[in-house]
């Protein structure tokens, strides 16, 4: 990719980004995250590998409330970084009420053979998933039905912003905004959310497989691990038959696990939930739950989860119970020590970076604004070649107009000492207010954001 060469040449500075600023010259690292070598499952499709550019755009979209009809709800409203991108609420609040199911933690969603998304797997991929909440009447409201605006209206709104045409140009080398491009960039950001710095990972890196005792574990944690990875006929809990390590995402092709409730509705049942988030980061680094568990949020803590599997009874109404949990052969008979050990083991699957790393944090400032620092074309003489543009009136008193070829530009105004007096992203037709600048001679410099070409002119301010 042309842009990548430009970016690798750029020296990665230790510049600390301030909230509200995204520097396109110094992207945060999403594409090369040192995933441990024992992690093998990955549902990334060939045509949407994670790039720093794509995930940066995805991050901005994920946190942007503009993606909802009344500008109040972002993806991040129901998927919070502080809860491993889940929600502590039983059901989450959207623009028109609450969701039918409990929100899912998104951490490590990439590291699964399962390509489908949602508790009932109704989305065929994370790309397909990414535009569904936007088009859901309850969640973000661009449904095109019930009097709602539709997805095209959202695209028109994004086109009218200062940032998105520039960002789509930056990522796709063409400023056109489409549903597919939105889906791809959001899916890249979602897949980038990874957590592999847990106590489990520290131990796993020191041994050859999950069966071996981990040197950094307490004996209780090692017992819990053994129960997790051993089948019920051998006295274990058999959790690995569906949530296999070291990823702890759910395998494909399971039926339901006997949790058949509907959130906030005791009179209905729902047999369709056959998918689960990864069992990593069920609790945060302080051991507090990242939300209630299961699609209906019916299990309030990990003790209740273990009891559910230990005491699971077959009910006639559940015609979709997974065979691995059916029949007397599969009954668990864990004692209290074993149950406690299993819970202690589940606590070792929690990392810390995912909760605080800036690359997954809200890029908007408190006013909901974002400032893009565009690519620097400076210093690259090959790219520097003047092109004509109009600045008038010149001399100017309060404002001047600038006319450029179609496109997006970084406008910079330097005073006669070479100090930058102003900088902003503009479209090809622009009026700039210079009433606050002292009289003098200024240099107007414009950088075309797609071609990287720079051109300058002198402006006299009366």
Omega of the bond prior to 395 within 30 degrees of 0, cis? yes
Give the count of residues interacting with ligand HEC (CB under 6 A): 56
Taking CB under 6 A as the rule, does residue 225 contact ligand HEC? no
Taking CB under 6 A as the rule, does residue 103 contact ligand HEC? yes
- C-alpha to C-alpha distance for 333 and 232, rounded to whole angstroms: 8
Give the nearest distance from C-beta 384 to ligand HEC in angstroms. 40
CA-to-CA separations, 262 to 270, 298, 376, 437, in angstroms, rounded:
6, 9, 53, 63
Check: CB of residue 207 under 8 Å from CB of residue 214: yes
Give the nearest distance from C-beta 238 to ligand HEC in angstroms. 5
Q: Is 305 exposed, middle or buried (0-12, 13-18, 19+ CB in 10 A)?
A: buried
Stretch that binds ligand HEC, among 71-79, 389-397, 402-410, 435-443 (CB under 6 A): 71-79
| Contact pick of 50, 109, 167, 449 for ligand HEC (by CB under 6 A) | 109
Residue 403 CB neighbour total at 10 angstroms:
12
State which residue, 24 or 74, has the beta carbon closest to ligand HEC.
74
Taking CB under 6 A as the rule, does residue 347 contact ligand HEC? no
- C-alpha to C-alpha distance for 67 and 154, rounded to whole angstroms: 7
State which residue, 145 or 431, has the beta carbon closest to ligand HEC.
145
- What is the number of residues in the chain? 462
State which residue, 346 or 449, has the beta carbon closest to ligand HEC.
346
Among 394, 396, 400, 412, which Cα is nearest to 448's? 412
Residue reference for tokens 């809200």? 362
Taking CB under 6 A as the rule, does residue 322 contact ligand HEC? yes
State which residue, 89 or 437, has the beta carbon closest to ligand HEC.
89
At 102, list the tokens. Answer: 């409990």
- C-alpha to C-alpha distance for 309 and 334, rounded to whole angstroms: 10
State which residue, 237 or 434, has the beta carbon closest to ligand HEC.
237
| Contact pick of 57, 104, 344, 426 for ligand HEC (by CB under 6 A) | 104
Among 425, 412, 427, which Cα is nearest to 459's? 412
Check: CB of residue 263 under 8 Å from CB of residue 269: no
Give the nearest distance from C-beta 61 to ligand HEC in angstroms. 7
- C-alpha to C-alpha distance for 430 and 390, rounded to whole angstroms: 11
- C-alpha to C-alpha distance for 92 and 263, rounded to whole angstroms: 11
Contacts (CB under 6 A) with ligand HEC, residues 125-184: 126, 129-130, 133-134, 139-140
| Contact pick of 108, 175, 192, 276 for ligand HEC (by CB under 6 A) | 276
| Per-residue x/- track, 31-60, ligand HEC (CB under 6 A) | ------------------------------
Q: Interface residues with ligand HEC (CB under 6 A)? A: 62, 67, 73, 75, 77-79, 92, 94, 99, 101, 103-106, 109, 117-120, 126, 129-130, 133-134, 139-140, 186, 190, 237-239, 241-243, 250, 254, 256-257, 259, 273-277, 279, 282, 293-295, 305-306, 309, 322, 324-325
């Amino acid at each position: 990719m042309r842009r990548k060469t430009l970016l690798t040449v750029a020296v990665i500075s230790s510049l600390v980004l301030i909230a509200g600023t995204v520097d396109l010259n110094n992207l945060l690292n999403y594409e090369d995250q040192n995933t441990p070598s024992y992690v093998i499952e990955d549902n990334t499709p060939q045509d949407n590998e994670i790039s720093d550019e794509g995930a940066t755009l995805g991050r901005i979209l994920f946190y942007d409330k503009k993606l909802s009809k009344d500008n109040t709800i972002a993806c991040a409203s129901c998927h919070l970084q502080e809860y491993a991108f889940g929600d502590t609420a039983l059901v989450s609040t959207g623009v028109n009420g609450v969701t039918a199911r409990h929100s899912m933690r998104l951490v490590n969603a990439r590291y699964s053979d399962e390509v489908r998304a949602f508790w009932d797997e109704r989305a065929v991929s994370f790309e397909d998933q990414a535009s569904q909440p936007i088009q859901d009447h309850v969640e973000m409201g661009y449904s095109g039905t019930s009097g709602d605006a539709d997805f095209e209206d959202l695209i028109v709104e994004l086109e009218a912003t200062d940032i998105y045409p520039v960002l789509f140009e930056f990522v796709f080398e063409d400023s056109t905004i489409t549903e597919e491009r939105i889906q791809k960039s959001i899916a890249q950001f979602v897949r980038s959310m990874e957590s592999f710095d847990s106590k489990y990972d520290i131990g796993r890196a020191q041994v050859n497989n999950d069966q071996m005792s981990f040197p950094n574990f307490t004996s209780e944690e090692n017992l819990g691990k053994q129960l997790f990875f051993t089948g019920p006929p051998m006295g274990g809990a058999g959790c690995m038959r569906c949530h296999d390590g070291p990823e702890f995402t759910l395998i494909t092709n399971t039926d339901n696990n006997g949790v058949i409730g509907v959130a906030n509705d005791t009179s209905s049942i729902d047999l369709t939930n056959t998918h689960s988030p990864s069992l990593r980061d069920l609790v945060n680094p302080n051991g507090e739950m990242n939300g209630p568990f299961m699609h209906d949020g019916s299990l309030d803590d990990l003790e209740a989860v273990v009891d559910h599997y230990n005491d699971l009874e077959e009910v006639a109404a559940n015609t979709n119970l997974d065979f691995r949990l059916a029949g007397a052969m599969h009954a668990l008979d864990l004692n209290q020590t074993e149950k406690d050990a299993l819970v202690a083991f589940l606590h070792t699957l929690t990392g810390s970076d995912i909760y605080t790393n800036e690359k997954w944090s809200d890029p908007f400032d408190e006013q909901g604004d974002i400032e893009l620092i565009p690519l620097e074309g400076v210093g690259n003489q090959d790219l520097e070649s003047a092109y004509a543009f109009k600045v008038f009136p010149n001399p100017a008193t309060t404002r001047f107009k600038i006319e450029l070829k179609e496109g997006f530009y970084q406008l910079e105004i330097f005073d006669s000492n070479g100090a930058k007096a102003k900088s902003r992203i503009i479209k090809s037709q622009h009026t700039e207010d210079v009433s606050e600048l002292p009289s003098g001679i200024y240099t107007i410099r414009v950088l075309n954001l797609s071609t990287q070409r720079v051109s300058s002119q002198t402006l006299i301010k009366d």
